[in-house]
Chain A
Amino acid sequence: MKKNVRMVLSLLVAAVLILGLVGCGTSEPTASTASAPATESGSENALEPYVIGAYMPITGTNSTWSFILERGQDLAIEEINANGGFNGHPVEIIRYDTTSSNEEAAKIAVRLVEVDKVDACLPSPMSNEIKASANTLNNAHIPTIVVGTSATLLSDANWDYVWRTALNTDFTMSAWESAFDEMGVKTVAIINSQEDVCVAVTQAMEELCAEKGIEIVAKESIDSADTDFTAPLANIVSAKPDLVCSYALEPGNVTVQLRRLGYDGLIIQRELPAANDFEIAGDDSRGWAFPSLYVTYTDINDCDIPYMRSFLEKYQAAYGELPEYEWVYRGYDAVMALWEASKIAGSNDKEAINEALSQVVCDGLGGTIDFTKSHEGYESFGSFVYEDGKFKEFNTWLSAGGYDAYKQND
């Protein structure tokens, strides 16, 4: 009896170990050729696939939303393959897990170039991982589309083969230039995570404040291993700022703790917070203001943008829900911009596609993707404030006196 119990326990542990290994970050790629186009006879297409390499943090501390980025890419590939692929070639995607490690991202980029010999690449959305790896792709002349938002991502390196279909956070400062004047903002406090994208947007805000003569009365940083932010937030609250800029990777908990300390003013976010941040913050998310290319929807009927609505219908059909975070849009846009370039090039040659990318002007989920002026696909965006459970257009809300309820220092 005792032996049997031991055997069962051992088997259970072995099962746990095996399951764990399945879930662990792996350097083995996963490939997908969702709905490859068929020939006229209906047999499999004999043409060589167009291979896109992708990598992202599927496991580890930054893995929260990678699955939704994957979904965006997969939906785009499915749509492309159903419409003839890249100049008749079916699209295949090879994915790797960076395990939230910059070093792993750098190694994966080498593997994509040397072993997988990919035709194009969609790197990690994490700016740190892009910086660690994109040089390899650029040197190998691989057309690469990034979706990280860090301001310094493209400006720090002159990469000819790297393009972006996400919003550079530097551009978003223009949203606040006139708004700060209209709100009469004299003092600001900033709390930021130490990830590259958050540091970059903090610097941009500091520059804006310096330019406008706005005093930064408190500046606090937190790291990804923090769970309790009371001390830095207490410094912020005691400095009595007119408003707070919260540039944290996951702003839900920061907001809850900030509100608990008695701050009930406007909180500026660097981008649209994720659905779970709204869930965690609950009522405390009132007064979140953010620049964004997109908003998320809880009901498909709330969307009146035809191109977006069509995407949401496809997403809902495939996954039975609406996307909770904007990374899905970024994933979709990156693949579609690449497809547009292949159509302009008329060939799948890497140099031809990269050249064609500079001519891309196409519909994206965040508006028009336009690479004709620079490697930045999006330069215009909207600003929103979240109040009463709804996203409101920021300037309209401001003009209607919405800010009065959030004023801190009269």
Chain B
Amino acid sequence: MLKFVTLFISATILGCTYGLISLSYSLIYKSSGMMAFVNPDLMTWGAFLGFTFYTLMGLPYPIAVLLTCVVMFCMGFAIQKGVVRNLIKRNVTPMYITLTMFAMGYILQNLSQLIFGSVPRKFDSIIPGLKIQLAGIQVQPEAIICVGVSLLIMALLQFFMNKTKLGTAMRAASMDPMAAESVGVDVSLISGLSWGLSTTVIAAAGILCGPIYSVSMVLGANLGAKAFAGAVLGGYGNMIGAIIGGLAMGFIETFVSGYISSDYKSLIAYIVLILFLFVKPTGIMNERAIQDV
């Protein structure tokens, strides 16, 4: 029973971590129709910036989070304006823009190595000395915060995208840019903002995961593939689906590892994903956006 509870808690934490990254994938897709494969490496940047502000510079954690989010928002905005927008203006097909995102990912990963170094670093605890016992196992307070923040961001994004004017403008800019512009939506600005917002979400993931898994140049890349699978499983572009998909991947991976074999956890997780998509191609939340690609 203790093992089951341990695995359950671990799967929830891991799943919410995947979910946060999945949210950023879904947000970009929902608001600009792009597959943002650069996101995992942006998460690494978020973690390193948070580490720099909090651990190295000794700033209070909320200030470090705020600074990281501001810097990362600007970075996301700049990537959209400097790279994505320029490619769209040159009528580059979505496939090539997707490939460009991979290239940007490599560039960011190598840049992080150049600037922050290749050695994994310890991200200081947010609440030093606090030890939480849950059902007999020790849980880091950061892990509980991560779960709470994931659910909060999911709810906020779901509300924002569906119930606010800006969110509606973002969806409109993604669905039909020309029509959106004809009704006064500044598509260029809106797309930039949506990238900035997505990058802020992924930065939050990085700065929350740092104290749990420590910070390294491959932190985002290691988590990104499963998170993408989670976004697809949940219904690519759906905020609630992103968290559910992320949680599903976390649970499959953890329980396969715990009760079958750690050798087969990724194998089984991806087989489940493919089989599920055979049955329900639009994902758990029946998100039809993926069919438009």
Chain A interface residues toward B at CB < 8 A: 6, 9-10, 12-14, 16-17, 19-25, 59, 61, 63-67, 220-228, 230-232, 234-235, 238, 250, 252-253, 260-262, 274, 276, 279-280, 282, 324
Contact = CB atoms under 8 A, between A and B. Distances in A.
A219 B225 CA distance: 26
A90 B30 CA distance: 61
Interface stretch (B119-127, B148-156, B199-207): B119-127
A21 B109 CA distance: 11
Contacts of B219: 227
Contacts of A224: 222
Interface in B200-245: 209, 213-214, 216-219, 221-223, 225
The main secondary structure of chain B at its interface with chain A is helix
A223 B253 CA distance: 13
Contacts of B262: 220-222, 231-232, 235
B83 A13 contact: yes
B111 A16 contact: yes
Contacts of B17: 228
Task: Sort A-B residue pairs by CB-CB distance and give the 4 closest, nearest first.
Answer: A13-B82, A20-B107, A231-B257, A230-B10
Given A25-B110, A221-B263, A279-B121, 15 more contacts: A9-B82, A12-B78, A16-B107, A20-B111, A59-B110, A64-B216, A223-B266, A225-B266, A227-B219, A227-B222, A231-B256, A231-B257, A253-B213, A280-B120, A280-B122
A276 B119 contact: yes
Contact of B138 (A10, A21, A260, A324): A260
**Residue from B79, B86, B122, B265 whose CB has the most chain A CB atoms within 10 Å:** B122
Contacts of A222: 262
Contacts of A64: 118-120, 216
Given A6-B81, A221-B263, A238-B2, A231 B111 contact: no
Nearest to A275: B119
Contacts of B225: 225
B113 interface: yes
Contacts of B79: 13
A20 B115 CA distance: 10
B7 A230 contact: yes
B257 to A, nearest CB: 3
B195 to A, nearest CB: 12
Given A24-B107, A260-B137, A279 B122 contact: yes
A14 B218 CA distance: 24
B271 to A, nearest CB: 17
Given A13-B82, A222-B262, A252 B3 contact: no
Given A64-B120, A260-B140, A234 B108 contact: no
B137 A9 contact: no
Contacts of A274: 119
Contacts of B83: 13
A276 B114 contact: no
A231 B214 contact: no
Contact of A17 (B107, B119, B214): B107
Contacts of B266: 223, 225
A40 B91 CA distance: 66
B98 interface: no
A6 B188 CA distance: 11
